[in-house]
Amino acid sequence: MSTFSAPKGTYDLLPPDSAGYLAVREAMAAPLRRAGYGYVETPGFENVELFSRGVGESTDIVSKEMYTLTTKGGDHLALRPEGTASVLRAALQANLHRAGNLPVKLWYSGSFYRYERPQAGRYRHFSQVGAEAVGAEDPALDAELIIMAADAYRALGLTQVRLLLNSLGDAECRPAYRAALQEFLRALDLDEDTRARIEINPLRVLDDKRESVQRQLTGAPMMRDHLCTACEEYHERVRELLTAADIVFEDDPKLVRGLDYYTRTTFEFVHGGLGSQSALGGGGRYDGLSEMIGGPALPSVGWGLGVDRTVLALRAEGVELDLPAGTDVFAVPLGEEAARTLFSLVTTVRRAGIAADLAYGGKGLKAAMKAANRSGARYALVAGERDLAEGVIQLKDLASGEQRPVPADALVSELTRLLG
C-alpha cells in the first residue's frame, strides 16, 4: 500500500468501474456529435477574474468554493469550477464568432474542482460533459440542448429523471422583478450573509435549500409574473418545442441555479435516488456573459451534465449498462516458442480491429486460463509445440468449453467471422 492516498473529497477512477463512466460520457457526447457540436478542451486553470466576473462574486462557487493560487510571477489563477466561462473565453480568444457561421456549437468533457463538504454525489473533484451554443438567440437552440440531454439519459436507461424548467427574464424585465423581490426579502428574518446576498443577487436567495429560509419564501414574487412580452413568448416557444419532442417537464418558478450569468431559459435535471444532491445536471441561456468577460454581445445557451451523479443515478435505479467486452480474445502460449508466435498473432488480431490480450510472465496453463476467464474474453487461443509443428492454433470457446484447431493463417478471418 502507498504512503499516500487521494486528497479528501476526490477519487481515483479504476477498472472495472471506469468502463461505466466512459459509457456515460459517450452517451452524453453522442447526440452532441450528431447535432454538429465540435469538441473543445480548455486548461484546468484560468485567470481568477474570468470566474469572478462571469460566474458572479456573490455565488458560493466564487466566494467559498474556488481553489485559487498565485504563481511565482504573481498571476492569480483558479482551478476551473465550471466549464461555460472557460469555453466562451476560448471561443472569443480564437475569434470563432467572427467566422460568420453562428451559432458556434461546442462540447467538452473534463474534471472540475470546488472546495465543498464531501458527501455522496458532491466531490471536490468531479467530472462533467458540457455543451455550448454560442452566438444565436433562438428558442430552438434552447430546446435542442435540453432534448439532447434528455435523450442521453434515456439512452442510458434512466427512467426516474425529472426536468425542471423556468425563465429568468432579461435585461428589460428583470430589474423590476429584482426590486420587488428585494423588497419582499428585506422584511424576512434572515442571517447576515443571506441579507447581504439580497443586495447583490436576490434571486440566489430563492435557491437557498435551508428549510428555515424556504419556509419564509411562501408568497415571494416570482419571475414568471414579471416577464416582459418578449420573454413570455420566447419561453412559451421553448415549452412548445419540448412538448412536440415528447419531453416531459415541470415548471419550477423558484429554479434559478447557482450561477449569476443565466437569463431567460433555465433548466435542471434531477433524480430522486440521489438524496439531497438531487441535481444530475442543468444549464440555461446566458446572453450577457460574453460582455461580462470583455467580449461582444453574443447570446448563448448551454448545459453541464454530471458524470459522477449520473453513475450514482444508474446504481440507484439498478440499471446495468451493456458495456463492450474489454477483451474478445485471450492468447495462452505454452512454451517460449509459442509465446513468440502468439505475440505476433495477437498483434495481427488487434490490427484487424479485434480486442485481444496475452498471458504474460510465463504463466502455466491453469493460471493462464484463469486469466483468460477473468478478462471476459469470448475465445482463448492456446498453442504448444505440437500445435506449432502442425501449423494450427487451438481455438477455445470459453462459454461452452468447445475447442478445435484452426490453421494459423486462417485465424484472423475465423475470429472476424465469429465476432461479427
Name the DSSP class of 64.
I
- pLDDT (0 to 100) of residue 309: 94
Q: What is the mean pLDDT of the chain?
A: 92
308 Cβ neighbours under 8 A, 6+ residues apart: 21, 121, 123, 126, 127
Binding residues: 82-84, 114, 128, 132, 257, 261-262
Residue 157 has φ and ψ, to the nearest 5°, of 95, 10
Residue 102 — very low, low, confident or very high, per pLDDT cuts 50/70/90? very high
Rounded Cα–Cα distance for residues 168 and 252 (Å): 11
Binding residues for L-histidine: 82-84, 114, 128, 132, 257, 261-262
Which of 54, 296, 48, 273 lies closest to 162 in space, CA to CA? 273
Strand (E) or helix (H) holding 69 = strand 68-70
User: What domains are defined for the chain?
Assistant: 17-173+227-317 (3.30.930.10), 329-419 (3.40.50.800)
- pLDDT (0 to 100) of residue 340: 95
3-class SS letters over 259-318: CCCCEEEEEEEEEHHHCCCCEEEEEEECCCHHHHCCCCCCCEEEEEEEHHHHHHHHHHHC
- What would the pLDDT profile of 180-231 be if each residue is shown by its tens digit? 988 999 988 888 888 888 888 888 788 787 888 889 888 888 888 899 999 9
| pTM confidence score | 0.89
- Other beta carbons within 10 angstroms of residue 213's beta carbon come to 18
Which of 113, 49, 116 lies closest to 85 in space, CA to CA? 49
- What would the pLDDT profile of 274-300 be if each residue is shown by its tens digit? 877 789 999 999 998 999 999 999 999
- Other beta carbons within 10 angstroms of residue 241's beta carbon come to 18
The angle at the Cα of 284, spanning 197 to 315, to the nearest 5 degrees, equals 95
- What would the pLDDT profile of 26-66 be if each residue is shown by its tens digit? 999 999 999 999 999 999 999 999 998 877 766 667 777 89
Separation in Å, CA 380 to CA 99, 104, 256, 326, 398: 54, 48, 56, 14, 7
Mean pLDDT of 157-169: 96
Asked if residue 273 has pLDDT above 80, the reply is yes
Lowest mean pLDDT among 52-61, 260-269, 284-293, 378-387: 52-61
Rounded Cα–Cα distance for residues 271 and 419 (Å): 38
Beta-sheet pairing, 104-113 with 38-39: parallel
Is-contact 146 127, C-beta < 8 A? Answer: no
- pLDDT (0 to 100) of residue 57: 65
